[in-house]
Amino acid sequence: MPTTTTPSADRPGARVLDHPDVTAIRLEDVLHALADPMRLRIVRCLAAAQGELSCAGIELPVSKSTCTHHYRVLREHGVISQIYRGTAKMNVLRRADLDALFPGLLERVLEAAELQDGRLDD
Amino acid sequence: MPTTTTPSADRPGARVLDHPDVTAIRLEDVLHALADPMRLRIVRCLAAAQGELSCAGIELPVSKSTCTHHYRVLREHGVISQIYRGTAKMNVLRRADLDALFPGLLERVLEAAELQDGRLDD
DNA sequence: GTCAAATTACGACGTTCCTCGTACAATGAA
DNA sequence: TTCATTGTACGAGGAACGTCGTAATTTGAC
């Protein structure tokens, strides 16, 4: 019988992933997670999607193993949560948790990213 | 005759440091700069100081060379500006520049750091 | 001119990071 | 069962990072 954790898997027997408890999320880690271009891109997509997105659902100019790596960093640092759904792995932003810990921070980062985009490609 | 740059040095002949132009400051770099505990500490001190502070004015549990390193990262990534004043080197947050590029971001980070502090040492 | 204070330059060391390719595992559909 | 899809594990390479100590530099004061 499988161990179940927080982001309750769809169906019993499903593979389950470790997520840091809300109280274990640290600001430095979140900033570090967001500081990478690929990861920031993922976070922006998830924010725009207003829901869950599979890993394959976000196009990135890096190999699959590298994608896996970045998603894991985001999860382990408390920025996203992931659950398996069939052969896919779905990703969601931990907006509520992040907002509770660092009010407004994520929103500002997303906004800043938008602004920078507009600024850079004129 | 000396080359002068943006943060005009106190007196002619003073050593001058390179600072990125406002338009060259990138979000990922700023986040990366803030993601290090020592650097976040420096930034918080500067924010609290409401003005300039010498490098020696901020106590850090690392060697002097490491301090130099961190201040340089902050400057090169556009977070602070530095000028020499006598034998000291003064540091100031580039609040206006950062706010113009990424409205509210710095404030939220500082606030988040405060909140986390309160939360961690109960 | 000498001296102390503040900071840097340089080189080094070990760690973490981002990236990849290949081989493997889990799932659902035919 | 077989197969295609999706993602992982593992190992590796190279770059960047955080840290240090020592020697050198700049400056202001004596």
Summarised one tens digit per residue, pLDDT across range A2-53 is 333 333 344 555 688 999 999 999 999 999 999 999 999 999 999 999 899 9
DSSP state of A33: H
Report which of residues 20-39 in chain B place their beta carbon less than 7 angstroms from any atom of strand D.
32, 36-38
Report which of residues 60-119 in chain A place their beta carbon less than 7 angstroms from any atom of strand D.
64-65, 67-68, 71-72, 87-89
Strands (DSSP E) found in B52-107: 53-54, 80-85, 88-93
The pLDDT value recorded for residue A9 is 41
Query: What are the phi and psi torsion angles at A14 (to 5°)?
Result: -70, 150
pLDDT tier for residue B15 given thresholds of 50, 70 and 90: confident
What average pLDDT does the segment A54-63 reach? 97
Residues 6+ apart with CB under 8 A from B28: A35, A36, A37, A40
What average pLDDT does the segment B23-37 reach? 98
Q: Which of B55, B53, B119 minimizes the C-alpha distance to B92? A: B53
CA distance B46 to chain A (A): 18
A78 touches A39 (CB < 8 A) = no
The pLDDT value recorded for residue A4 is 32
DSSP state of B92: E
B90 touches B52 (CB < 8 A) = yes
The pLDDT value recorded for residue B27 is 98
Q: Is the pLDDT of residue B14 over 80?
A: no
Cα-based distances in Å from A114 to A40, A48, B20, B42, B107: 11, 11, 21, 27, 18
pLDDT tier for residue B8 given thresholds of 50, 70 and 90: very low
> Residue B55 burial (CB < 10 Å; 0-12/13-18/19+)?
middle
What average pLDDT does the segment A100-119 reach? 97
The pLDDT value recorded for residue A15 is 82
Q: Does pTM top 0.85 for this prediction?
A: yes
The pLDDT value recorded for residue A28 is 98
Summarised one tens digit per residue, pLDDT across range B69-109 is 999 999 999 999 999 999 999 999 999 999 999 999 999 99
